[in-house]
A and B are shown apart, each in its own frame.
Chain A
Amino acid sequence: MAKVLITDDAAFMRMQLKDILTKQGHEVVGEAENGQVAVEMFQDLQPELVTMDITMPEMNGVDAVKEIKKINPEAKIIMCSAMGQQGMVVEAIQAGAKDFIVKPFTPERIQESVGKVL
């Protein structure tokens, strides 16, 4: 199963995601509260998968995708979007994100997405 880095500025969302992912047998190796931290942690932890919120302080998710892709073009990133962020999602996909999921998440949806990306 995969080593995952979770990025979200809301601790609640991080907890929920971690819970779901762990139950599905993945290992959450790190939690970042904004894009900047995510980029740094990505470099240190080299996770197999990153989940990325879009709206965050310091550095938003789309910019973080671009930075991470600079470090490792092969990085696998799943965007976590809210409704109404279509444009941002498309931008992130263009930047190299592999998939996106829309809040609120269901475990099934996360399983599908993680399965397809890995």
Chain B
Amino acid sequence: MDTNQYIEVFLDESREHLQAVNDNLLKLEKQPEDLSIVSEIFRSAHTLKGMAATMGFEDVASLTHQMENVLDKIRNEELHVSTDVVDITFAAVEALEEMVASISEGNDGKKDVSDLVSKLEQLENGGSAPVSQESSSTSESQSSIEFELDEYQATVIAQAKEQGFEALHINVRLNDDCILKAARAYMVFEKLEDKGDLIQTVPVVEDIEDGNFEQEFSLLMLTKESKEDLEKLIHSVSEINRVDVSDLKVKDKEQEQPKAQEDEDPNKAKSEVAATKEAPANNQSAPKQSKTIRVNLERIDNLMNLFEEVVIDRSRLEDLGQKLKDQELIETIENMTRVTEDMQGLMLSMRMVPVEQVFNRFPRMVRGITKELGKEIDLEITGADTELDRTVIDEIGDPLVHLIRNSLDHGIESPQKRKEVGKSETGKVSLRAFHSGNHVFIEIEDDGGGINREKVEAKAIENGLLSAEHSEVLSDEEIYQMIFSSGFSTADQISDISGRGVGLDVVRSKIESLGGNIIVESEPGKGSKFSIQLPLTLSILTTLLVNVQQETYAIPLSAIVETMLLEEKQVMFVQGQKVIDFRGKVIPLVSLRDIFNVPTAEDSKEENSIVIVHKGDKMAGLLVDSFIGQKEVVLKSLGNYLRDIFAISGATILGDGEVSLIIDPNALVK
């Protein structure tokens, strides 16, 4: 039977069932006595088995079959739900996810499952499986190669493979007597530059560039070149001892399942499966029918890029219309503006995906970590259907992982301690997402010990971030924010779960790079709450254009409180710093002319034009020469050569073809 036409449906449904099994297993662990959950899992496994057998995926079928046997025993109360049972079933689900992911990439979905099957058999026959064997066999069977891919990289590779690229692992060893290793490595990079895309290196590029490696380094590259050609090419560089080019092998397990989730989204988005953790599980068997097509994300990105060009041309037309004062032309342009605005809305909504796909992996992660830490913690997720721009979704995963780990490790106390202070032994971490205005908020709240002000203070003073006198005038809130400064960790002991003080500052800068911000609130003994504010979309901004001498700058409207005119004599000085009185509040005045070293032609005006911007509840006045007006602009990055320019987040092309820099007000408000 030709089964190809069914493969998409098979994949969709398999993923749904696997997610359902996942959710239900987590529930089952909490309520081991609830046999209705076992029945749900059984049904999912059974459906999976049937589908897989029809499609000819034998390994999937045999594994689910064995799962089914175990579940059946539980259902008939012949077997008790123990941690072993749940652990092994989880391992089996992971293996299934890997197989499904591999099928979705066009492979045959084969995998050696005999080990898992025999473990399940053991369970079925009453004995507990030896735990040691489990960890070694499921996760670290391939340990020779050291690439670990994040979700994004895994997606890129999967897509590239669809387009006929190969993911190659290139290992280069330099001669032992090679002295300028970095320069040599640079030559290798240069040779490979136009042969494909470099995805990852071990060690990281910065280390290679600084020569911080033994004689050897590895590259992960997407290319259409043959292995032999690449080997030859690299050998043309001097002082190369050995080159090995092989197909990509990555650490098992971790990277397969995100891929499965990635592929899942379009489907999720369209069918709106109410798969929040608390949703009743029985809606999964209802057949899904919706009129959707799957589109490669790249195409949407391309469409978006083209559309951005249209927006640029539109502003050019607007300028022309004003200049020519032709009524018909102006009307046409106005109409076009309306249409493109609608298009923009549509296009943005296409890029929106539920934050669910990031949240999905957390229940299992929390489960794993709490076990490791010997704590008992419940994770509560709300608002998983909140939608965010794809780009933000891709980037937000790691910071969230970090914050959740942080809450689990440092936030929630040990069960004994919780008992002592009269809390329930089980801690609670809530993960919430919701819309508000033009922003999406993600909150992570725990009911742990809260932040210890004294400890933070002491640490900040010790690290020279704060002076002792200064610390006394700061509010608790202000002190708490110090944990985002670099080189900070208040945990008494360093554990491998939440880092060595290189954490929260990275989280903050990541979130700021996405145009968002993060604050922390905390109450001693009651817990802490991290709130992340994120913009809905990144690429098209509404800005205020201003003139600074002959140059035009754009300031994002979201950061602007208001604009004002101020006479020179109203500017005051505090400790040599210009300040102004803004509604009874003294705020610093920053001259953009000075900040950006704009060449000055004329000077000394009677009145100052000032844009008041804010960051959280802090404000500053930006001194400009004149306001031009509000404008939708397309944010273009400055590229790799001009990274990390102070107070500039990007550039845009204006209607008249002039390039204008977009100011990052966050950097100017201190």
How distant is the Cα of A100 from the Cα of B183 in the complex, in angstroms? 9
A81 at the interface (CB under 8 A from B): yes
> Cβ of B183 and Cβ of A90 under 8 Å apart?
yes
**Proximity bits, B183-220, A CB within 8 Å = 1, else 0:** 10011001000000000000000000001000000000
Task: List A contacts of B293 (CB < 8 A).
Answer: none
Q: Besides A109-B239, A112-B239, 14 other CB < 8 A contacts?
A: A81-B183, A83-B179, A85-B180, A86-B180, A86-B211, A89-B180, A90-B183, A90-B186, A93-B186, A93-B187, A99-B237, A112-B238, A116-B236, A116-B237
Judge whether B182 is part of the interface by a CB distance below 8 angstroms: yes
Nearest CB on B from A85, distance (A): 8
A residues with CB within 8 A of B? 81, 83, 85-86, 89-90, 93-94, 99-102, 109, 112-113, 116
A86:B237 contact, CB within 8 angstroms? no
Whether the Cβ atoms of A83 and B180 lie closer than 8 Å is yes
In the complex, A116 Cα to B237 Cα: how many Å? 7
Those of B151-192 within 8 Å (CB) of chain A: 179-180, 182-183, 186-187, 190
Do residues B238 and A102 form an inter-chain contact, with CB atoms below 8 A?
A: no
| Cα distance, A93 to B187, chains bound together (Å) | 7
Per-residue CB proximity of B274-294 to A under 8 Å, as 1/0? 000000000000000000000
Q: Interface 1/0s, chain B 45-65, versus A by CB < 8 A?
A: 000000000000000000000
Q: Please, could you name 11 A-B residue pairs with CB atoms under 8 Å apart, sorted by A?
A: A81-B180, A83-B179, A85-B180, A86-B211, A93-B183, A93-B186, A93-B187, A93-B190, A109-B238, A109-B239, A116-B237
* A90 / chain B contacts, CB cutoff of 8 Å: 182-183, 186
* Inter-chain contact B190/A102, CB cutoff 8 Å: no
Among A89, A109, A112, A116, the residue within 8 A (CB) of B183 is: A89
A94–B186 alpha-carbon span in the complex (Å): 9
Most buried by A among B182, B186, B211, B238: B238
Q: Which residues of B contact A (CB under 8 A)?
A: 179-180, 182-183, 186-187, 190, 211, 236-239
Task: Tell me whether B182 and A86 are in contact (CB under 8 A).
Answer: yes
Say whether B179 contacts A102, CB under 8 Å: yes
Chain A residues with CB below 8 A from B180, complex form: 81, 83, 85-86, 89, 100, 102
**B182, A116: Cβ atoms closer than 8 Å:** no
Chain B residues, Cβ within 8 Å of A109? 238-239
Selected from B179, B182, B238, the residue in CB contact (under 8 A) with A99 is: B238
Partner of A116 from B186, B190, B238 at Cβ < 8 Å: B238
Cβ of B186 to closest chain A Cβ, rounded Å? 5
Contact of B187 (CB < 8 Å), options: A81, A99, A101, A102: A99
Collect the chain A residues with CB atoms within 8 Å of residue B190's CB: 93-94
Q: How far is the CA of A57 from the CA of B157 in the complex (A)?
A: 50
Across-interface contacts of A93 in B (CB, < 8 A): 183, 186-187, 190
Residues of B near A81 (CB, < 8 A) are: 180, 183
- The interface residues of chain A lying within 8 Å CB-to-CB of B236 are 116
Contacts of A100 in B (CB 8 A): 180, 183, 238
- In order of increasing CB-CB distance, the 4 nearest A-B pairs are A89-B183, A102-B179, A113-B238, A90-B186
- Distance (whole angstroms) from the CB of A23 to the closest CB of chain B: 19
| Docked pose: A86 CA to B181 CA in angstroms | 8
Question: A99 — which chain B residues lie within 8 A by C-beta?
Answer: 187, 237-238
Please measure, in the bound complex, the distance between the C-alpha atom of A112 and the C-alpha atom of B182, giving whole angstroms: 19
Give Cα A89 to B186, complex, Å: 10
Nearest Cβ in chain A — how far from B208, in angstroms?
12
Which residue from chain B places its CB closest to the CB of A81 in the assembled complex?
B180
Residue of chain A at shortest CB distance from B184: A100
Q: Report Cα–Cα, A60/B473, bound state, in Å.
A: 57
Q: Which residues from chain A contact B183 at a C-beta distance below 8 Å?
A: 81, 86, 89-90, 93, 100
Nearest-CB distance from B212 to chain A (Å)? 12
Of chain B, the residue at the smallest CB distance from A103 is: B179
Chain B residue numbers with a CB within 8 Å of A85 are: 180
- Contacts of A89 on B, CB cut-off 8 Å? 180, 183
Chain B residue with Cβ nearest A102: B179
Assembly CA distance A102 to B237 (angstroms): 14
* Shortest distance from the beta carbon of B238 to any chain A beta carbon, whole Å: 5
What distance in Å separates the Cβ of A101 from its nearest Cβ neighbour in chain B? 8
**What's the nearest-Cβ distance from chain B to residue A47, in Å?**
20
* Among A90, A101, A112, residue most surrounded by chain B Cβ atoms (within 10 Å): A90
**CA distance in complex: A83, B211 (Å):** 13
Distance between B492 CB and nearest chain A CB, rounded to angstroms: 41
A117 — nearest CB in chain B belongs to which residue?
B238
On chain B, the residues within 8 Å of A102 by CB distance are 179-180
Please give me the residue from chain B that is nearest to A88 by CB atom. B183
Question: In the complex, which residues of chain A have a beta carbon less than 8 angstroms from the beta carbon of B179?
Answer: 83, 102
**In whole angstroms, what is the CA distance A109 to B182 when docked?**
18
Closest A residue to B179 by CB, please name it: A102
What CA separation (Å) do A71 and B372 show in the bound complex? Answer: 66
Q: Inside 8 A of B211's CB, which chain A residues have their CB? A: 86
Residues in A neighbouring B237, C-beta threshold 8 A:
99, 116
Min C-beta distance of B217 to chain A, whole Å: 15
Q: Shortest beta-carbon distance, B106 to chain A, in Å?
A: 40
In Å, the complex CA distance between A93 and B183 comes to 8
> In whole Å, how far is B347's beta carbon from the nearest beta carbon of chain A?
39
**With the chains together, A17 CA to B267 CA distance in Å?**
68
Least CB distance, B643 to chain A, in whole angstroms: 18
Docked CA distance A44–B239 (Å): 32
Alpha-carbon separation in the docked complex, A113 to B239 (Å)? 8
- Bound form: Cα–Cα A113–B238 in Å: 6
A7 to chain B, nearest CB (A): 19
Distance between Cα atoms of A25 and B239 in the complex (Å):
22
- Please measure, in the bound complex, the distance between the C-alpha atom of A104 and the C-alpha atom of B180, giving whole angstroms: 13
CB neighbours (8 Å) of A116 from chain B are 236-238
Give A101 to B237 CA distance when docked, in angstroms: 11
Q: In the complex, A41 Cα to B182 Cα: how many Å?
A: 31
List of A residues within 8 angstroms of B238 by Cβ: 99-101, 109, 112-113, 116
Interface-central residue, A83, A86, A102, A112, by most chain B CB under 10 Å: A86
In the complex, the chain A residue whose C-beta lies closest to that of B209 is A90
List B contacts of A83 (CB < 8 A).
179-180
Instruction: Output the least CB separation between B495 and chain A (Å).
Output: 38
Task: Point out the residues of chain A lying under 8 angstroms from B182, CB to CB.
Answer: 86, 90
Q: Kindly state the separation between the CA atoms of A70 and B239 in the bound complex, as whole angstroms.
A: 28
**How far apart sit A112 and B241, CA to CA, in the bound complex (Å)?**
12
Q: How far is the CA of A87 from the CA of B183 in the complex (A)?
A: 8
A102 to B239: give the CA distance in the assembly, Å.
11
Closest chain A residue to B185 by CB distance? A90
CA distance A102 to B183 in the complex (A): 11
CB distance from A81 to the nearest CB of B (A): 7
Within the complex, what minimum Cβ distance (angstroms) separates A92 from chain B? 9
When chains A and B are docked, how far (Å) is the Cα of A100 from the Cα of B211?
16
Question: In the bound complex, what is the Cα–Cα distance between A51 and B395 (angstroms)?
Answer: 47
CB distance from A29 to the nearest CB of B (A): 23
**A94–B209 CA distance with the chains assembled, in angstroms:** 14
> Taking the nearest CB of chain A, how far is it from the CB of B115, in angstroms?
49
B65 to chain A, nearest CB (A): 59
Q: How far is the CB of A98 from chain B (nearest CB, A)?
A: 9
